């Protein structure tokens, strides 16, 4: 069952009922100012950091769900309704929500009044615009009142939700004409404030929440709206809000538009007052002056649309498969931008006050983003690498505002260092910019011990070399990619963090998954060394990679698949010897995609085992059989009920690893079958089961052991976005950036047909026509570039050349 449809021409998903199975959200903002917005106008806004600089309040875990947003109430006689249905939930005569690239547009109607709200964050300003247009579609005159409503968050969202003894006394606002200024804590250590303004005179306002709502009432039915009259309250402490009241008369057929701006403004620390305790308005005056007329809004909106048209022209696909076209050309890349911006910080499942930017997460997010805006990827790489420790290990997370490593969680996740190589290699392959490798980068933000980025990578690489266990496999530390496989933790008390409790390292627990990573990224490291002319280092690296490869074949192979790990007693995990958790996806996917056991025929065997044991209708499960009891020696993974999350859920993130591994051994049918199972454009059909947004990936889909298999959770912020984009663009469609130029090596399912890719790469545009006359899964028989036959399948890169016309014949 569907709750909407794709409008590909407009790059929108159109939701046709407010009652989606879960809130279906969108992200506004591309740079520093962000808003989450749901299909019922729920959500919140923040500047740079969802924890430290949150503008508006949201209540996770609330009843009813998805409460608080930017709401517009329309009072028409005795009827009160909202453009996005919530919070009044008055039944609407029509409703539509269009989530597009960086904007959402709501259109609804009630009793002959049509209302539209276009919400977006303009390209280079720190604000969100809501343009509300009211139209009288009836044949009688309408006397309406329009009320806006946002609830201010007292900046630090963590403190805001628990420090009530202080916070109930600190709230302060100013109201001047149609602008409400939120200035809590401005008198002391802040030099920033927020504004909520409208481009029209107002007939009333409220800034004290309970004055507007009425005592013991909620925002579904504010007393002031019911009365048709705001109270002009000025908040002192308690919970400041911003409400404008505008009385509107509309003749039949008449429309009026109102431009609301919610903005973040900063003053210089030593020049922040206009007069005693009155904030200096220069930055907000400047901001608000930019968005006064419909033309201003149209212009800013066009800029945003053009921006996305530009970004989405970097990689485009024309194939016979509409679903794949739509994911590749629009939604998958869009989600890659969002995960790049947010890492795992703010979504409807990530509270914005927990994790900031993850070291491993952000490096992986780069993989699907780097082609879009390489300069931003470059900056991000330097930020991430700056939180690395001198011994090559890394803070697991850092805060986006301060860019400092988060010492609460610390380090000890032994896969982290290698992901830095993955991110940097992707950047250099995309851009050819080797200057980044020579960039001076601090350790733990300490510039006095800075070295080149290449030296950081060396320390990443050597961290694995220097931290091996009894089988010559990498020590796992607190966990590897699977945060929940905590082999050195042994936690017995609720509330202890599985990751941070217990010693961060043990002498023997080892990860076969990290071994697979080391083989893959060790080779990529060697190639970077070669680029810098350091053949000796490349040789050394390859020698170490070979040693690891052999160690995996010797002690990481279980007969039919790769072992997952060795625990603190040196017992196998993910082996026939185990009662539960006999086979895991990660080691099988990653070792195979790294090429381990390909020539020996073991990768094929491993992938056949994955199909046999881990496949289910909705995707490839992370492990089987599910753990049914808690194992002290395995940690959080066994804390989840069977079928959920890391305990036998379908963890979408590593499905593409298996799909990529299938392309490595040339099985296009199977690679695509896996791609399809978790692909939103395909699961759209079963939205009533899947529940999360049908235009983006979610982190987890419940596995076969779950109560409701196929039910998705934790949408948007997942490494699935980046990995799937790599999978489809670089392995299935097969356009992979190498240091020497683009390689074209598709691996497609039978019947996929011919296709065309346009790819912008290092300043040139490549038009790549792929023909598949014999309908094969893999293999390039012939390639011509600008009509000339070229041997192999790497398009030779020529400095300065602007256009490449490439013909590929598979066979």
- List of residues contacting ligand GLC (CB under 6 A): 344, 358, 360-361, 481-484, 498-499, 636, 645-646, 699, 718
Nearest residue to 653 (alpha-carbon basis) of 415, 425, 405:
415
Cβ nearer to ligand GLC, comparing 344 with 670? 344
Provide the CB-side half-sphere exposure for 639 (13 A, CA). Answer: 20
> How many Cβ atoms sit within 10 Å of the Cβ of residue 582?
21
- Considering the candidates 160, 361, 483, 555, report the single residue annotated as catalytic: 483
Cβ nearer to ligand GLC, comparing 27 with 481? 481
For the CB of residue 636, give the shortest distance to ligand GLC in the complex, in Å: 5
Distance CA 275, CA 31 (A): 32
Distance CA 419, CA 421 (A): 5
With residue 422 as reference, give the H or E element that holds it: helix 416-431
Cβ nearer to ligand GLC, comparing 334 with 501? 501
Cβ nearer to ligand GLC, comparing 308 with 657? 657
Q: Which residues does residue 701 pair with via DSSP β-bridges, in sequence order?
A: 650, 712
Cβ nearer to ligand GLC, comparing 128 with 646? 646
> How many Cβ atoms sit within 10 Å of the Cβ of residue 289?
9
Helices (H) and strands (E) in the chain, counts: 21, 43
CB 371, CB 430: distance < 8 Å: yes
For the CB of residue 457, give the shortest distance to ligand GLC in the complex, in Å: 20
Task: Report how far apart the first and last C-alpha atoms of the chain are (Å, whole number).
Answer: 39
Give 734-759 as a DSSP string: -EEEETTEEEE--B--TT---EEEEE
CB 65, CB 53: distance < 8 Å: no
Distance CA 555, CA 375 (A): 42
Distance CA 480, CA 360 (A): 10
Distance CA 9, CA 395 (A): 43
CB 463, CB 414: distance < 8 Å: yes
Q: Which residues does residue 148 pair with via DSSP β-bridges, in sequence order?
A: 72
Q: Which residues does residue 278 pair with via DSSP β-bridges, in sequence order?
A: 275
List the structure tokens of 758.
Answer: 């346009």
Cβ nearer to ligand GLC, comparing 219 with 491? 491
Distance CA 798, CA 629 (A): 59
Distance CA 421, CA 695 (A): 30
With residue 336 as reference, give the H or E element that holds it: helix 332-342
Residue nearest to ligand GLC (CB): 483
For the CB of residue 441, give the shortest distance to ligand GLC in the complex, in Å: 22
Distance CA 345, CA 397 (A): 10
Distance CA 469, CA 472 (A): 5
Nearest residue to 38 (alpha-carbon basis) of 55, 49, 24:
24
CB 382, CB 439: distance < 8 Å: yes
Cβ nearer to ligand GLC, comparing 56 with 411? 411
List the structure tokens of 401.
Answer: 């505002």
Nearest residue to 119 (alpha-carbon basis) of 304, 309, 335:
304
Q: What are phi and psi of 212, to 5 degrees?
A: -80, -45
CB 767, CB 758: distance < 8 Å: yes
- Nearest-5° angle of CA 315, CA 321, CA 325? 25
Distance CA 682, CA 501 (A): 41
For the CB of residue 87, give the shortest distance to ligand GLC in the complex, in Å: 30
For the CB of residue 256, give the shortest distance to ligand GLC in the complex, in Å: 46
Cβ nearer to ligand GLC, comparing 199 with 499? 499
> How many Cβ atoms sit within 10 Å of the Cβ of residue 379?
11
**Residues 6 or more apart from 800 whose CB is under 8 A from it?**
none
Active site annotation includes 78: no
**Residues 6 or more apart from 532 whose CB is under 8 A from it?**
434, 437, 454
Compute the residue count for the chain.
Answer: 811
Distance CA 528, CA 506 (A): 32
Residue 83 has what DSSP assignment?
T
Cβ nearer to ligand GLC, comparing 230 with 512? 512
Alpha helices by DSSP H, listed for 140-290, are 157-160, 164-167, 209-213, 223-227, 282-289
Residue numbers annotated as active site: 483
């Amino acid at each position: 069952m569907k709750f909407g449809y794709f409008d590909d021409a407009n790059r929108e998903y159109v939701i046709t009922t407010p009652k989606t199975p879960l809130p279906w959200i969108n992200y506004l903002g591309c740079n520093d100012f962000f808003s989450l917005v749901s299909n019922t106008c729920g959500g919140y806004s923040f500047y740079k950091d969802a924890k430290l600089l949150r503008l508006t309040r949201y209540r996770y875990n609330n009843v009813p769900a998805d409460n608080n947003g930017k709401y517009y109430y329309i009072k028409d006689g005795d009827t009160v309704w909202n453009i996005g249905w919530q919070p009044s939930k008055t039944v609407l005569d029509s409703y539509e929500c269009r989530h597009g690239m960086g904007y959402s547009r709501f259109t609804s109607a009630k009793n002959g009044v049509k209302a539209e709200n276009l919400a977006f964050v303009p390209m280079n300003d720190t604000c969100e615009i809501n343009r509300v247009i009211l139209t009288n579609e009836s044949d009688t005159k309408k006397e309406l009142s329009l009320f806006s409503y946002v609830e201010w968050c007292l900046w630090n969202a963590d403190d805001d939700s628990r420090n009530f003894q202080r916070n109930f006394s600190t709230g302060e606002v100013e109201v001047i004409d149609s602008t409400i200024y939120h200035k809590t804590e401005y008198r002391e250590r802040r030099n920033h404030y927020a504004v909520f303004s409208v481009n029209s005179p107002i007939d009333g306002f409220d800034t004290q929440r309970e004055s507007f709502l009425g005592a013991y009432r909620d925002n579904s039915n504010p007393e002031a709206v019911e009365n048709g009259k705001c109270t002009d309250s000025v908040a002192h402490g308690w919970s400041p809000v911003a409400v404008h009241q505008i009385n509107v008369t509309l003749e039949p057929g008449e429309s009026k538009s109102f431009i609301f701006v919610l903005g973040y403004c900063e003053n210089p620390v030593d020049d922040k007052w206009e007069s005693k305790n009155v904030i200096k308005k220069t930055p907000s005056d400047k901001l608000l002056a930019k968005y006064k007329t419909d033309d201003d809004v149209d212009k800013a909106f066009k800029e945003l649309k053009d921006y996305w048209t530009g970004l989405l022209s970097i990689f485009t696909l024309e194939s016979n498969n509409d679903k794949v076209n739509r994911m590749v050309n629009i939604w998958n890349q869009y989600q890659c931008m969002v995960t790049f911006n947010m890492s795992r910080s703010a979504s409807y499942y990530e509270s914005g006050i927990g994790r900031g930017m993850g070291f491993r997460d952000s490096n992986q997010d780069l993989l699907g983003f780097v082609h879009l805006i390489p300069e931003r990827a470059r900056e991000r790489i330097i930020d991430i690498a700056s939180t690395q420790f001198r011994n090559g290990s890394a803070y697991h997370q850092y805060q986006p505002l301060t860019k400092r490593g988060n010492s609460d969680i610390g380090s000890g996740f032994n896969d982290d260092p290698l992901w830095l190589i993955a991110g940097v290699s992707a950047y250099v392959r995309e851009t050819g910019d080797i200057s980044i490798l020579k960039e001076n980068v601090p350790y733990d933000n300490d510039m006095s011990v800075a070295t080149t980025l290449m030296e950081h990578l060396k320390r990443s690489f050597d961290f694995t070399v220097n931290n091996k266990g009894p089988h010559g496999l990498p020590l796992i530390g607190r966990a590897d990619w699977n945060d929940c496989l905590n082999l050195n933790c042994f936690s017995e008390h609720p509330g202890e963090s599985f990751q941070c409790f217990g010693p961060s390292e043990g002498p023997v627990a080892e990860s076969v998954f990290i071994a697979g990573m080391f083989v893959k990224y060790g080779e990529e490291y060697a190639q970077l060394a070669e680029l810098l002319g350091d053949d000796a280092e490349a040789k050394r690296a390859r020698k170490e990679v070979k040693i690891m490869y052999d160690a995996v074949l010797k002690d990481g192979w279980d007969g039919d698949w790769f072992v997952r790990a060795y625990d603190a007693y040196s017992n196998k995990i993910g082996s026939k010897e185990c009662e539960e958790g006999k086979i895991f996806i990660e080691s099988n996917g990653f070792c195979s995609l790294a090429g381990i056991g390909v020539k020996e025929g073991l990768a094929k065997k491993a992938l056949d085992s994955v199909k046999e044991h881990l496949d289910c209708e909705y995707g490839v499960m992370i492990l089987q059989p599910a753990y049914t009891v808690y194992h002290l020696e395995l940690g959080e993974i066994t804390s989840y009920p069977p079928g959920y999350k890391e305990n036998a859920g379908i963890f979408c993130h590593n499905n593409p690893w298996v799909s990529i591994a299938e392309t490595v051994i040339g099985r296009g049918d199977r690679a695509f079958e896996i791609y399809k199972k978790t692909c939103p454009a395909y699961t759209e059909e079963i939205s009533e089961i899947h529940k999360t947004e049908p235009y983006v990936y979610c982190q987890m889909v419940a596995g076969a052991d779950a109560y409701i298999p196929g039910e998705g959770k934790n949408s948007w912020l997942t490494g699935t976005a980046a990995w799937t984009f790599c999978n489809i663009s670089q392995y299935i469609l097969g356009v992979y950036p190498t240091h020497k130029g683009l390689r074209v090596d598709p691996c497609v399912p039978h019947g996929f047909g011919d296709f065309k890719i346009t790819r912008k790469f290092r300043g040139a545009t490549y038009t790549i026509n792929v023909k598949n006359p014999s309908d094969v899964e893999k293999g390039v028989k012939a390639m011509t570039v600008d009509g000339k036959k070229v041997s192999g399948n790497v398009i030779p890169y020529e400095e300065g050349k602007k256009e490449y016309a490439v013909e590929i014949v598979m066979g």
